[in-house]
Each structure stands twice: as structure tokens, then as C-alpha cells.
Amino acid sequence: MFRINSRCISCGTCWQFDPAHFASGGDTAVVREQPEDRPALHQALLALEACPVAAIVASPEQRRERPASGFPVAVAHHPCGEVLYCGWASKRSFGACSWLIRRPEGNVLVDVPRWSAPLARRIKTLGGLALIVLTHRDDVADHDKWARAFGAERWIHAADADAAPDAERQLEGEAVLPIDEALRLIPTPGHTAGSMCLQLGQQRSVLFSGDHLWWNREQQVVVASERYCWWDFQRQIQSVKALLDLDVAWLLPGHGHRHAFAEGAWRAALEQTLAWVQR
């Protein structure tokens, strides 16, 4: 039997990753349904592994069924790279997602999980890490350990750089910066002064949005949250407007649900968000 213990901080990691078996119960997660077959059990065990505070409990028999491969797991494929979810969320970033872009030019970690030797071994077999992009100050977790282990270069915006003072590269100002042919850093100040998105590809692109934007599955909307804005919400709205003309196929946030957009749906979704927040 799976159950949730009193350590739960209601971060959402489990029910966003495995909504078939976990759900929000208000102050804590709840088990929505027990896994009934082996694929379902594997999914629930991965959610257990992703939990930042070991709040998901399974029986020893169930834990023995843990899938050998584990995290990271594939989420999206773009011609410029495959995107995987890393699991192993950190309490320091309140369970934020971190994403791995696997590509021949060198893999990229977008925001950072807690340090995990099994995850590090698996990332090594997938080609290691060349770059780490820190979208904003909240979700840096164990960035120093990951950077040291792989000799990876870290990017952070100068306005949030005190959260990772040893980062090798800092983006200054508000101009979009192409890192290479496939990756662009887009400053999106608002949630924090140094928030930025990372865009993979420019057609049917993958947008890693940190806490600037996320998908609300129940209401089927893109959310820009005033409640969780730590710096300047009017500035955040301006930063949302600056993304209207992108061609986005995938929104992969730090918190909240990820979402795939049909061709042309991104602009309509952002216009709905802007109409909502400006009301």
C-alpha cells in the first residue's frame, strides 16, 4: 500500500508527475488510487523517488519493484534535442522540476535537482552535462555539486546571481541572448528580478519557463501568478507580453503542470492569460 506521511510539504511533485495515483488533498498530498499493475507501480515508485522529503511510503515488496532505469524520463522530443524530466526534486526549491536537454552539442540541465548519485550516474551514461541554466534564484538547489561533478558551466541572470555567486556566466540586461544555434536565454523579469526563460529551437520550440508561467490542468490555462510573484507583477505581465510571438509547442515550468500546445495555440493561450491578469 502507498501512503503519504506527515513530512509532506504539498509541493505538487507527485501529483504533477503521476496524477493517476496522487492528488492534492489540501494541506498534503493524498493517494488517489493504489497502483494495480507493474507499469502503474513503476510510475508510482518514480513519484516516490521524486518526492523531495521522502513523504511517500510504499511497502518493502513494492519498493523492490523499482524500475532499474529510474530518472531521467523522456518528456518531449524536439529536432534540436530530447527533453527529459530529472525527478529527485529538492526541498530547497520546494520540489521544482529540473529538465535535461540531451543533444550532440552537449547536454543542458535546466534548473537543478537535489544531488543524487544514481541520477548523476545515469546522466553520465547519457553524455554528462555541458551547461546548467538557472532560470531564477529559487530553483538553484544543489547547483554547485552538479556543476563540480560534470565540469558544467552555469548561467544565471545577474539580478539573481547572489543565489549562485560562483556561476561562471551571467546574463546582463533584458536583451535575448542566443547561447548557440538552438538555445536562447530570454530575460523575463517579474517573478524575481532575474527570472529568465530558456527556449530550445525557434519553430515548435520548447520553452523552459521557471516560475514565470505554468499550466493549470484543471482550468486549462497558462498561469502568471501574482500570489507567487516575489518581485514585480506589473513587470511580469510585460514579460508575458514579450513571449506572445514565440512559436511554443511545449511549456516546461519549474512548478505547476507542463503542457503541449497545438500549432497556433500558444498565442491564444497567452492572450487569455493577459486578459485574465489585467482584469
The residues that touch ligand SF4, with contacts defined as CB under 6 A, are 4, 8-14, 29, 51-53, 55-56, 95
Nearest CB to ligand SF4, comparing residues 12 and 256: 12
As measured in angstroms, the least distance from the Cβ of 87 to ligand SF4 is: 10
Question: Mutual orientation of helices 233-241 and 265-278 as an angle, nearest 10°?
Answer: 150
SS3 149: helix
Q: CB under 8 Å to 228, separation ≥6 — which residues?
A: 191, 211, 255
Nearest CB to ligand SF4, comparing residues 53 and 158: 53
Rounded to the nearest 10 degrees, how much is the dihedral formed by the CA atoms of 108, 114, 117, 123? -20
As measured in angstroms, the least distance from the Cβ of 35 to ligand SF4 is: 15
Nearest CB to ligand SF4, comparing residues 53 and 75: 53
**End-to-end CA, the chain:** 46
What is d(CA 98, CA 141) in angstroms, rounded to the nearest whole number? 10
As measured in angstroms, the least distance from the Cβ of 88 to ligand SF4 is: 11
As measured in angstroms, the least distance from the Cβ of 54 to ligand SF4 is: 8
Nearest CB to ligand SF4, comparing residues 111 and 160: 111
As measured in angstroms, the least distance from the Cβ of 175 to ligand SF4 is: 37
SS3 151: coil
CA 109 to chain centre: 10
